[in-house]
């Protein structure tokens, strides 16, 4: 017999996608920080759901305002900004014992004008979006850095051979192909005592270097090499998750036109694409708790 005693399960709520642009204009050379912030609170919100009593419901509108108010003092790094929000909400309201705070941040480059970098005109940088998540559960705080949309391509030093063949296999083995992907990665810090902006820049550089290094036997092999490189250089990171499409480039048959094609002309297919996903971690990684809950698109 199933019970008709109905109870409230896990819940969280807040304001999603608070778009925030912070200009620091202490001097004529302005700085821009551009983020999309989500704040969600966890704690004792049973009365609101069961009884219609909003006494504990810190409005989502207030959460939004807090994001803007905190930005007045600067953002610094998305991770530190989210940690400030987490600390604020859990220390200001007794019944808020945790939550989840997430951000995307977008890069702007200074426009080059008259041979120098402009003071207050920027062009949106077309490369990756930085991501950050903070999850606080009582005293346990988890910080995840990350990026998505880091599009890379190597035009040689990649192949795919030695795979099993059955009656449905048509793919030809190759030792020279294009490899291209949009890197999405999230990494979990084992401490909050980090210069997150420096760490981000270095992890991104290591991911790019890792992509270039070695002959790639498969995107799987390249992914693992990229993750290993990050973990070996960053003791403050315990694990890194990847989701990477294998953006296929098919050699076009130019024979009908009387032309050869020595790996020069490709059809860049947009779909379907291979999808290669994995986590690379320390054998003795710290407990992730609820860190990865709500982070979609990784395994
Ligand atoms: O790097 C690759 N990994 C695969 O798993 C795979 N499968 C496939 O058809 N091509 C490739 N390439």
- pLDDT for residue 196: 98
- The whole-number pLDDT of residue 174 equals 95
The pLDDT value recorded for residue 289 is 94
Give the residue, out of 218, 242, 248, with the most ligand 1 atoms within 8 A of its beta carbon, to mutate for a pocket test. 218
- The pLDDT-based confidence of 112 (bands split at 50, 70, 90) is confident
- Give the model confidence (pLDDT) of 208-233 as tens digits: 999 999 999 999 999 999 999 999 99
In this prediction, residue 293 carries a pLDDT of 95
pLDDT digits (tens, 9 = 90+) for 171-195: 999 999 999 999 999 999 999 999 9
Q: Answer whether residue 125 shows pLDDT above 90.
A: no
Cβ–ligand 1 distance for 172 under 6 Å, the answer no
Is the pLDDT confidence value at 54 over 90? yes
pLDDT tens digits, one per residue of 256-271: 999 999 898 989 888 9
In the chain, % of residues over pLDDT 90: 88
Question: For this structure, is 136 an active site residue?
Answer: no
- Report the distance separating Cα 166 and Cα 161, nearest Å: 14
Q: What is the DSSP string of the chain?
A: ------------EEEEEEEEEEEE-SSSS-EEEEEEEEEEEEE--HHHHHT---TT---HHHHHHHHHHHHTT--SSHHHHHHHHHHHHHHH-TTEEEEEEEEEEE-EEEEEETTEEEEEEEEE--SPEEEEEEEEETTEEEEEEEEEEEEEEESSSB-B------TT--PPPBSS--EEEEEEEEEEES-S-S-HHHHHHHHHHHHHHHHHSS-BS-HHHHHHHHHHHHHHH-TTEEEEEEEEEE--EEEP--GGGT---SS--EEE--SS-EEEEEEEE-TTPPP-TTTTTT-TT--
User: Per the residue annotation, which of 22, 136, 229, 248 is the catalytic one?
Assistant: 248
- Please confirm, yes or no, whether 62 is among the known catalytic residues: no
Report residue 151: phi and psi, to 5°: -85, 125
For atom 1 of ligand 1, which residue has the closest CA? 218
Q: Determine whether the shortest distance from the Cβ of 55 to ligand 1 is under 6 A.
A: no
Q: What is the interface pTM, i.e. ipTM, of the complex?
A: 0.98
Would the pLDDT of 22 be above 90? yes
Is 84 assigned to a binding site?
no
Active site residue 15: yes
**The pLDDT of residue 124:** 85
């Amino acid at each position: 017999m199933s019970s008709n005693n109905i109870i409230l399960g896990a819940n969280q709520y807040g304001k999603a996608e608070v778009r925030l642009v912070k200009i620091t204009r202490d001097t004529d050379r302005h700085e821009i920080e551009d983020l999309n912030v989500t704040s969600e609170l966890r704690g004792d919100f049973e009365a609101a759901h069961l009884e219609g009593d909003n006494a504990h419901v810190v409005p989502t509108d207030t959460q939004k305002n807090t994001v803007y108010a905190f930005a007045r003092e600067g953002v610094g790094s998305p991770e530190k900004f989210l940690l400030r929000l987490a600390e604020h909400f859990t220390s200001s309201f007794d019944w808020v014992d945790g939550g989840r705070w997430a951000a995307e941040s977008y890069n702007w480059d200074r426009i080059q004008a008259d041979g120098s970098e402009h003071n207050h005109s920027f062009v949106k940088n077309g490369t990756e979006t930085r991501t950050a998540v903070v999850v606080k559960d009582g005293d346990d705080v988890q910080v995840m850095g990350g990026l998505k949309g880091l599009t890379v391509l190597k035009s040689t030093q990649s192949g795919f051979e030695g795979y099993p063949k059955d009656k449905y296999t048509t793919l030809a083995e190759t030792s020279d192909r294009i490899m291209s992907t949009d890197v999405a990665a999230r990494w979990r810090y084992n401490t909050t005592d980090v210069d997150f902006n420096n760490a981000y820049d270095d992890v991104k550089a290591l991911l790019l270097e890792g992509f270039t290094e070695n002959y790639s036997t498969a995107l799987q092999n390249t992914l693992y090499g990229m993750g290993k490189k990050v973990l070996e250089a960053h003791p403050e990171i315990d694990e890194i998750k990847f989701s990477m499409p294998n953006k296929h480039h098919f050699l076009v048959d130019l024979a009908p036109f009387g032309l050869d094609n020595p790996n020069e002309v490709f059809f860049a297919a947009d779909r379907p694409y291979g999808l290669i996903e994995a986590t690379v971690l320390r054998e003795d990684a710290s407990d992730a708790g609820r860190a990865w809950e709500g982070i979609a698109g990784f395994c």
